[in-house]
Structure 1
Amino acid sequence: MTRAFIDFLAQSPSAFHAAETVAARLQAEGFSLDDDAHAPGGHLVVRDGAVVAWWVPEHARPRFRVVGSHTDSPGLMAKPDPDVVREGFRQVAVEVYGGPILASWFDRDLTFAGRVVTADRTEHLVNTGPVARVPNLAIHLYRGDMPEIDRQVHTQPILGVDRPLLELAAESAGIAADDIVAHELITADAQRGEVIGDVLAAGRLDNLTSVWASMEAMLAAKDDAEDILVLAAFNHEEVGSASTAGAGGPLLERVLNRVAAEFGEPAEIIADSIQVSADAAHAVHPNYPGKHDPTHHPLLNKGPVLKVNANQRYASNAATETEWILACRAAGVPHQTFVGNNAVPCGSTIGPISSTRLGLPTVDVGVPLLSMHSARELCGLEDMDYFVRALAAFYAGAR
């Protein structure tokens, strides 16, 4: 399982790659590419770096079991005119995407990945391989602590070759650079995930841990399912989800409404359904334990984390929390709980967004991570196995 997950990460350097990788795997398992299907079997739709897949059992009950996640990760996005030459170096003009730990992107071998669109409106996936680096300033040139990072001035990567980024992107896609009309290209750490004892160090664990686990869980549970199973991996969560491919957009709603219409009143069916919002959770940091709630300390390799927030930054409530805990028990999986320290800001997920839009009862859960939003994060190997098993039990409706 670990090797398969590391391969998945390597195949998914951008949201667009992640969505296509999920789609390819599900199609190999018999799912059809069809955004208006409600017949028994597996179906899926891919849109702008998002993928929604659903499995309709032969004698399906009119109830959805949804696992929602997101395909995007923080990074440095190439600007529309990315070519810059400064002090003899060819560089890439970038815009900060989401909330990366900027210092972690320095002195790493970076690929640019994503999509380019040509004049015939064809989309091409791009992964340049390691071509760029954001160099640190040598310690001899400053005194004291490292100067504050200027997001505009200090984050522009240098290219390792004297060629424009779009020329490298075109070469990756097998097209001419002049054919590119527009692009969405983001940095990714070019190093593969590596196992360090019983933890995994890799980029984009937030939130490809959840995308991969939900895919594996759906495939494991589908043949014995009674409810309609749905995988929804959205784009743009890291920047607020307000897009046609984000959780605030219409993608999941359209699928649920079309399928539910075959069974009855869609709004009633959706209200009687349940969603797991699967996103990375914070493991307690051993060097900064004071940043965590003193009575809730999620640890690596101790099971998936239930995320609770009284101010609705997470969508969990007592009823949906119970469903998740019962699924973990049925799978024989330990579980933990994250609650924020009152003095520390709390992040959020797709959970409150999609549950509010759809009226879909939701619980927020995830694999515990260290270094969340770093170019390279840490998760427990056992937690990935636990998470797949718990999500499969949720899909199966285990109690």
Structure 2
Amino acid sequence: MKNQAFNQSLLSFLHNSPTPFHAVDSMKATLLDKGFKELKEKDHWVIEEGGQYFVTRNASSIIAFTTPTLNFHSSGWRMIGGHTDSPCLKLKPNAHVVRSGYHQLGVEIYGGVLLHTWLDRDLSLAGRITLKLDSGERISRLIDFKDPIAVVPNLAIHLNRSANDGFSVNPQEEMLPILGLAKSELELQSVLMKQVRKQHPTLGGAEILDFELSLYDTQAPSLVGLHKEFICSARLDNLLSCFVGLDALLAAKESHQPALLICTDHEEVGSLSTSGANGPFLEDVLQRLSPNPEHFVQAINRSMLISADNSHGLHPNYSAKHDKLHAPMINSGAVIKVNSNQRYATNSETAGIYRDLAKQEGYEVQTFVVRSDMACGSTVGPIMAGGIGVPTIDIGLPTFGMHSIRELAGSEDAYGLSKVLARFINTPVLMSSEEE
């Protein structure tokens, strides 16, 4: 029953988080409900022992943390890292296009999108709008159309006889969603302003200055399979890990170990931004918690980061794509991701710690190593490890269809990972400091 309640909350979070802005907004609401206090980066921070806090940057990245002690140099931090963004189609600044009698949207491809999966889907639009009020004040607000308002129709096989032999999609010419017939006039700014007033009726007069809007699939997340073995949803990479990390942090909030959940934006495009893992956000927060340089280094060396990002499960239709001895199965436990070229930050000590914690919780552990004749992806793990020097492990839940508009993961794996992460936060000593 606990697993069922967990999964229903997960599905709700996924459904209500069509963009990184909405994901962070959802996480903020949960944290506030659980008694966490919001901090603002521009303000002076007063951090108290026994406190629970969170801070956001760009409204698309969030760090939540607990402070059962302020002696971070002797306790270190238990850190869990993920990312809020997913590959998608984003509107270009001048997005309105009229072609062959249809209103369409010009889009930019964000991240490594599996483009063909976006064809023939009921698409909606969500994101952030920046406005200027009649008073002269500039503000930003989130919008979400929720209803399907666009579609990218496929080309009939009669006009593309070789389609089933494999075909490529031109992102500039062939991925423009159709909004409707061009028989009537359409002014995109007016459409967006109408949605702003619908969702924020108290704003009064306002002018749209700019926007960051993404298309998304309106089909709701669901449990599928004869025995509901799978979770099928958009944005499992990586909102699945964000939800699991948040659940673990809340479950372990009575721990005596200081803990942080770090969910950053822009991982799918390299993480180099003010709010990405390759930016200064995490280090800025940690240095405000431990401003003494020597104490900061001591704290980092008593800390550990678990970077949680989805892993490639063994696909029965494409089993040759895996190293046979490192082929994770869905619903068989989280996956330790290993790469000798440091595309993942795992080492023997951090892997050993995770294996032991999982065993204590009664969960299996799997391992993924990419085939030696294939390129390896990466995560926020090596970026954070290289940025602040924290011992790190890369883990993930086995997934099918990564970067598809709709991905597939196990309905048992996420709950198990949350239990292991909570034990990670609660464990006072992870590794002996003695060396031979």
Where on the TM-score scale, by shorter chain, does this alignment land: which range? over 0.9
Is 1:186 aligned with 2:214?
yes
Greater radius of gyration (CA): 2
One-letter code of the match for 2:84?
A: T
Match of 1:210 in 2: 241
Is 1:43 aligned with 2:53?
yes
Is 1:53 aligned with 2:64?
yes
Instruction: Give how far 1:87 is off.
Output: 1.1
User: 1:310-389, aligned counterparts within 5 Å?
Assistant: 310-389=340-419
Mapped partners of 1:178, 1:23: distance in 2: 26
CA deviation digits over 1:189-231, x for unaligned, max 9? 11110111210110000001100000000000111x1221100
Instruction: Give how far 1:264 is off.
Output: 6.0
Q: In the superposition, relative to structure 1, how do residues 295 and 265 fare at CA in structure 2: closer, same or farther (>3 Å)?
A: same
Is 1:128 aligned with 2:145?
yes
Please say if residues 166 and 177 of structure 1, whose CA atoms lie closer than 8 Å, have aligned partners that are also in contact. no
Instruction: Give how far 1:58 is off.
Output: 4.8
Q: Which moves more between the two structures, 268-277 or 307-316?
A: 268-277
Mapped partners of 1:287, 1:204: distance in 2: 22
Match of 1:170 in 2: 193
Secondary structure at the aligned position of 1:80 is classed as strand
Match of 2:116 in 1: 103
One-letter code of the match for 2:37?
A: S
CA deviation digits over 1:80-103, x for unaligned, max 9? 111111111111100000001000
Mapped partners of 2:180, 2:354: distance in 1: 48
Please say if residues 112 and 127 of structure 1, whose CA atoms lie closer than 8 Å, have aligned partners that are also in contact. yes
TM-score between the two structures when normalised by the length of structure 1 = 0.96
Is 1:14 aligned with 2:6?
no
Q: In the superposition, relative to structure 1, how do residues 328 and 149 fare at CA in structure 2: closer, same or farther (>3 Å)?
A: same
Mapped partners of 1:231, 1:165: distance in 2: 38
User: 1:215-230, aligned counterparts within 5 Å?
Assistant: 215-223=246-254, 225-230=255-260
Q: In the superposition, relative to structure 1, how do residues 378 and 241 fare at CA in structure 2: closer, same or farther (>3 Å)?
A: same
Instruction: Give how far 1:128 is off.
Output: 1.4
CA deviation digits over 1:330-378, x for unaligned, max 9? 2221111111101111100001111101111110001110000000000
Instruction: Give how far 1:268 is off.
Output: 2.2
One-letter code of the match for 2:229?
A: D
One-letter code of the match for 1:307?
A: K
Q: 1:288 aligns with which of 318, 335, 340?
A: 318
Q: In the superposition, relative to structure 1, how do residues 90 and 289 fare at CA in structure 2: closer, same or farther (>3 Å)?
A: same
Secondary structure at the aligned position of 1:217 is classed as helix
CA deviation digits over 1:41-92, x for unaligned, max 9? 1111111200011101157653101101000000101001111111111111
Secondary structure at the aligned position of 1:108 is classed as coil
Root mean square deviation, CA, Å:
1.8
Consecutive unaligned residues in structure 2, runs of 5 or more? 1-5, 431-436
Mapped partners of 1:392, 1:7: distance in 2: 21
Mapped partners of 1:332, 1:99: distance in 2: 35
Please say if residues 127 and 169 of structure 1, whose CA atoms lie closer than 8 Å, have aligned partners that are also in contact. no
Match of 1:81 in 2: 94
Please say if residues 62 and 263 of structure 1, whose CA atoms lie closer than 8 Å, have aligned partners that are also in contact. no
Secondary structure at the aligned position of 1:185 is classed as strand
Please say if residues 76 and 298 of structure 2, whose CA atoms lie closer than 8 Å, have aligned partners that are also in contact. no
Is 1:116 aligned with 2:139?
no
Mapped partners of 1:195, 1:391: distance in 2: 23
Secondary structure at the aligned position of 1:46 is classed as strand
Mapped partners of 2:69, 2:288: distance in 1: 17
Match of 1:151 in 2: 171
Mapped partners of 1:229, 1:263: distance in 2: 20
Mapped partners of 2:205, 2:395: distance in 1: 43
Instruction: Give how far 1:160 is off.
Output: 4.3
Secondary structure at the aligned position of 1:9 is classed as helix
Mapped partners of 2:361, 2:188: distance in 1: 47
Consecutive unaligned residues in structure 1, runs of 5 or more? none
Secondary structure at the aligned position of 1:245 is classed as coil
Is 1:26 aligned with 2:25?
no
One-letter code of the match for 1:387?
A: L
Please say if residues 14 and 72 of structure 1, whose CA atoms lie closer than 8 Å, have aligned partners that are also in contact. yes
CA deviation digits over 1:280-320, x for unaligned, max 9? 11101111111111111101111111111010000000111
Mapped partners of 1:140, 1:177: distance in 2: 50
Q: Which moves more between the two structures, 140-149 or 227-236?
A: 140-149
TM-score between the two structures when normalised by the length of structure 2 = 0.88
Match of 1:305 in 2: 335
Mapped partners of 1:368, 1:375: distance in 2: 17
Q: In the superposition, relative to structure 1, how do residues 37 and 394 fare at CA in structure 2: closer, same or farther (>3 Å)?
A: farther
Mapped partners of 2:352, 2:407: distance in 1: 30
Instruction: Give how far 1:141 is off.
Output: 1.2
Q: Which moves more between the two structures, 171-180 or 128-137?
A: 171-180
Mapped partners of 1:82, 1:169: distance in 2: 12
Instruction: Give how far 1:178 is off.
Output: 6.7
